[in-house]
Every structure is written in C-alpha cells, then in structure tokens.
Structure 1
Amino acid sequence: MLPAITARRSVFPQFFTGAPVAQQTLEELIEAANFAPSHRKTEPWRFRVYRAGGKEQLKRELLDVYGRQKDDVDAIANKFGKKIDQSGAVLLIFLHRDPQERVPEWEEIVAVGAAVENLWLSLDAYDLGGYLSSPGFVCGDYGAWPGSAANERCLGMFYLGHHAAPDLIRPRGDWRDKVQFVAEN
C-alpha cells in the first residue's frame, strides 16, 4: 500500500554522514515539491538551499534572526550549527504569499506543506533522509528572514542528507480511530 508514503520517515541530522548532496539531486527534489497542489495556482512555496560553503551563511543568518530575540547566542550557534554541519544540505522553506491575496493564507500554508511532503516522499528514492524543523525563533514573528520579500515568511528548515540511520519502528494509531464516515440511509 502506497510504499512511498509508508517509507517516509524523519531522519535526524545526527544520523547524517556529512556527505554532500549533488546539485542535480537537489534540483530533482525541488522539482518534485513543485508538483504540489495549490488553489488558483499561486504556487506559494519558495526554497533557499544552503549547501557546502553556503551553510556558513545560513549559520550567520540564523544568528542574525536569533540575535534579535535572545541573549544566549552561543547556545543557538552550537545547537543549530551542529545540525547544519551534519547535513548535506539545508532548505529554508518560505511561504510566498499571493500579492493579490486571491485565496486565504491558510490555503497557501497548506500548499507549502504539500510541497514539503512531496519533497519528503522523494527522499527515499535517493537514499536520503530528512527532518523538518520549525523553531520558534525562525518562524516566530511570523518568519521574518534576512533578504526575504515583504510577502515572504519562513515557515521552517528542512535538513537533509545521506544517512546511516537505523530502521526504527514508527508506530501510528489506527486510522479508524481518526475518521467518522457519514452516510445517508
């Protein structure tokens, strides 16, 4: 049953090997994300891909964003710097709000989520793992980010990389407990 969906899992950066992710692979993953549905075809997903030396820029940007809010900059540099270093690439995920606001914002946020899920479902085909994170300081103040447009907001970070993660059991509750069928007699 839907093997790509049942194979999808979170792989945390501590399991990444540090091996780089090829440019072509990243492009193919983002192409998969681009096939997400969006109402009125607003295609509100945007990605910034940080890899190789670009990961150092991401660390500086994170400190800039975080530094505006907190005093313990060293703690954040260590925590997130390590995850970034362990990753083959890190994608920042943005909502690019339709300038004409033809659809409710929540629909565009859902569309961005669908794009992320498409990307996530594609990782297994490349033997990659990924982890979605939305730390409050990144997405707080509704995701203001250096260099983003007025209609753009950061919704999260997606760490990805080659990995050596163990195959862990991913328990899920029974789907029957989460649905109610309504039918007329």
Structure 2
Amino acid sequence: MNSIDQNIIERRSIKKFKVDAIEVEEIIELLNVAKWAPNHKVNEPWRFQLYTGAGKEKFVQAFLEAMKTADGETPAKAFNKADYFRSIPLHLVVIMPEDPRQRRWDEDYGAISSMLQNFQLAAWERGIGMIWRSNDWIYNPVFREALGVKPGEKIVATMMIGYPAHIPAKQERTDIREKLMIISE
C-alpha cells in the first residue's frame, strides 16, 4: 500500500485534543496545499475564519448566544460544550457563497468539500487531527451574525483542530463491490 492510500485509510475524525498549540502559519501552509482540490473554473469558492488563542472566545460566545432558548436561558449542556470548545487549540470556520444557480452551487460545494478533505489528509500526515462539524447551530442566524457571515453565504464546516489526544479505532466500511454496478454493454 502506498503512503497516500495509507493516509486516506488511517485518517480519523478527532474529538479529543491535546492542549498543545498549533502554529497559525502551519494551518496556512496546509490550506495552501488543500486549495489544489478540483475546482470548476478555479473560482475558489471559499473563505476562512481561524480562531486561536483569546480569539476562540468570540467563537465560543457566538455558540452560547445561538444556544439560548426562547426565554433567554442558556442550557447547562451548552456551557459544557463551550468549555470543550475552549480546550481545542483552533477552530476554522469555512464559508462559501450560495450561488442561486444550482449547478454553480453544487460545483462550489463539491470543490470546497474536496478542499477540506485535502486539508484533513495533509494535516493528518503532519500529526494534526480535526473533526468537520456541521451542527445545527451553524445555521442559527445569531451564530452567523456574531461571526460576520453574510446573507448569501453558507457555513460549510467548523473544523476543530489540534493534536490528537485519542485516535478512535477504525470503523469498517462496506466493500465497494456491494455499492458498484458495472455496465459493460
């Protein structure tokens, strides 16, 4: 098995991170590698917000505001999640324009998804783990506004990034032969 195959098979979504900092410049390097994903018309339909150090608190506060109930209360479990978010070294919010033309929207989403997979694989090769989150709160107008996400933009992911404190076991996948139809005539 070659190293690319092995990296694809061994990459895991990481939920438990060490507190060790990751240099912002390293994330920039990884994104500069990842940007070579297939991208129709090379329109690069992405922008990023990286939250690190004290800047993570803006991300956490946006999350807490989005979690408030109709009566203005924040559930206790949201505070627990906020503490967890504070412990993660980096948060990368990935944003794309929502083109009203379905084909362009699909192409852009495919490009950004490919770019994010490249990013994860390149980071994994360097010992950096992450999880791609697309929880309900990324659609909450309060969260979006707090982060400066404009109308006509979509948060594709919040990537939580750090050195893995725990690497989950591999979960088996279905043999592709069970999902493949071969048409030869």
Given residue 29 of structure 2, which amino acid in structure 1 is its aligned partner? E
Gaps of 5+ in 1: none
Identity of aligned residues (%): 23
1:7 maps to what in 2?
10
What's the CA shift for 1:59?
0.8
Partner of 1:129: 129
* Counterpart-to-counterpart distance in 2, 1:118 and 1:59: 26
Counterpart CA distance in 1 for 2:109 and 2:119 is 15
Aligned pairs for 1:28-107 (under 5 A) are: 28-67=29-68, 71-75=72-76, 77-97=78-98, 101=101, 103-107=103-107
Alignment of 1:146-161 (within 5 A): 146=146, 147-161=148-162
2:66 and 2:140 in contact (8 A); partners too: no
3-state DSSP of counterpart to 1:154: strand
CA contact (8 A) 1:59 1:77 kept: no
Note if contact 1:18-1:87 (Cα within 8 Å) is conserved in structure 2: yes
1:181–1:145 distance in 2 versus 1, CA, 3 Å: farther
2:19 match: 18
Q: Relative to structure 1, is the Cα distance of residues 71 and 107 closer, same or farther in structure 2, using a 3 angstrom cutoff? A: farther
8 Å contact kept, 1:39–1:103: no
Q: Which runs of 5+ in 2 are unaligned?
A: none
What residue is the counterpart of 1:115 in the other structure? 115
Q: Which range is displaced more, 84-93 or 50-59? A: 84-93
- C-alpha displacement of 1:97: 3.7
Q: C-alpha root-mean-square deviation of aligned residues, in Å?
A: 2.5
- What is the Cα deviation at residue 119 of structure 1? 0.7
Taking the aligned partners of 1:103 and 1:18, their CA distance within structure 2 comes to 42
Counterpart of 2:20 in 1: which secondary structure?
Answer: coil
Does the Cα contact within 8 Å between 1:144 and 1:153 map onto a contact in 2? no
Asked whether the 8 Å contact 2:67–2:78 carries over to 1, the reply is no
Q: Distance in 2 between matches of 1:179 and 1:70?
A: 51
- Give TM-score, length-normalised by structure 1: 0.84
Number of residues of Structure 1 aligned to a counterpart in Structure 2: 180
